[in-house]
Structure formats: structure tokens, C-alpha cells
Amino acid sequence: MAESRRTFLKQSAATVAVVSLPGCAPTAAERPDALVPATLRAVGEAVLPEELGADGRERSVAAFERWSEGLEPVAEMAHPYLVPETVFTGPDPRPGWAAQLSGLDIESGKRFGTSFAEVGVPERRRILEPHVRRAGPDFGRPENAAHIAVALAAHFFASPIATDLCYGRAIAKQQCRGLAGAGDEPAPLPGAAS
């Protein structure tokens, strides 16, 4: 049963990866505004559900990284209904997010004498809390998040995987499922508490 659940999470993460298109930008490691992988993963351990397991969290963080690399600043948005003006997304949030990751390390060093990735989850949450509190109570769209921790969590909790985990059912929103079965109660996820 547990194996089936892991399989579900793995497959679902793959689905997110498909939706999160990589762009043509240089890889994160080549860019000055790169999101430092170790610090980003440490943030993931603080804000993503533990029930995902280490593998699930890693897939979620990796999906966020791919999504982030594909993000185009100031892109034309879908037209609001009956508004005759073009609306654009915001400027590039990634330099700010990269600076925030760096800031987390600096603050961790000053508070705890070691890097953010090396302190425990409670200490990380203590550092993150003021930033998350300012963003709440709703997640909003990840590209609009004022802090990288909120962006990462928003990206995950908006995903079809998160919805399925919440309900313990294979809803598979936005997945082009066909009309058959629409009238059925979604099947329980293997091993899920619903």
C-alpha cells in the first residue's frame, strides 16, 4: 500500500513537471540570481508537508525550480473580461528571491552560528515566520509571492497533487481526463486518509 502511495506521488510530481515548462534561460547555477539549491531545499523542508517524504519534497522543490526557470517577467496575461487594456505580469521576482535565500543564510549565521540549511526545521521556521506572516493568510500566485518561502509553498499547494492529497482522492484537476467517470466519486488514493 505504501509503495502505491509513493508511486502516486512520483507520478503526480511528474505531472507537475510537465505543466512547469522549462524556458530557454540559462540554468540557475549560471546566473547571478540563481536560487541556491541547498538553501531552497532547506526552505522546502520548513514549508512543505512532511507527509510528502524526502523524495516527494525533493520532487516538489525541483518542480518549483523548473517553473522558476521558465518564468517570463512582464509577460502578457490572459485578458480580463471586458477590459480593453493589456495586463502584464510583474517584474522578475527571482533576483529578490535569490537575495532572500542569501539573507536566510546570513540571518541563520547571526542567530545560530551556522547556515540556514544546517539548522533544524524549528529554527528555520523561526527565521521564516515574519516573512510568511506578512504574506498571509492566502497563498496567491507563486510569481507574485513577496518571499521565496511563500512562492515555493504556493507552487506546491496550487498543484493537482496537493489537491488530491488534501481530499485523499484522485481528482486530477486540469489533467484532461476524458468525460467518462466525471459522474463518479473520485477514487481514494492508495493508503490515503480521506
Partner 1 sequence: MSQVIESDVCIIGGGISAAMVAERLAERTEASITVVEAGGRTASLEERTATRARMLAYGENPYPNDHIPGQTGTGEMYQSMVLGGAAMHWGGAVPRYSPEDFRVRSLYGVGYDWPITFDDLEPYYQEAEERMGVAGEQGPPEYDPRSKPYPMPPLPLSWNLERMREWTDAAGIPFWTQPWARNTEPWQGRNVCRRCDTCAVCPTGAKYTPDFAFDRLLAAGRMRLHGRTLIRSLDLASGSDRVESATGFHQDAPDQPVEFRARTFVLAAGHSWSSHLLLLSANSRFPNGLANSTDNVGRYMTGHWFASGFIELPMRLYPGIFPNNSLLSHRFASPGPLDRYLRHDIRLWESTVGREARLAADDGRVLWGDEVMADWRARTRSTATARIRSYYDVIPTPESRLTLDSGMRNRHGDPMPRIDYVAGRATLDLEPHTHETLLGRFDELARAAGGRMMSTRASRLFEHPGGGCRMGDDPSTSVVDRWGRTHDHENLFVVGAPTIVSSGCANGTLTFCALSLMAAEEIAKG
Binding mask 149-168 for partner 1 (x = CB under 8 A): -x--x---x--x-xx-xxx-
Q: Which stretch binds partner 1 (CB under 8 A): 34-42, 99-107, 108-116, 171-179?
A: 171-179
Residue 55 binding partner 1, by CB under 8 A: no
8 A C-beta contact, residue 117 and residue 46:
no
For residue 152, how far is the Cα from the chain centroid?
A: 3
Residue 93: which of 149, 147, 39, 154 has the closest Cα? 147
By C-alpha distance, which of 109, 76, 73 is closest to 91?
73
Nearest alpha carbon to residue 55 among 65, 45, 70, 67: 45
Minimum Å distance from CB 25 to partner 1?
13
- Chain positions 73 to 102 lying near partner 1, rule: CB under 8 A, are 75-79, 81-86, 89
- Could you list the residues that contact partner 1 (CB under 8 A)? 18-21, 46-51, 67, 70-72, 75-79, 81-86, 89, 125, 129, 132-133, 135-139, 141, 143, 150, 153, 157, 160, 162-163, 165-167, 169, 171-179, 182-186
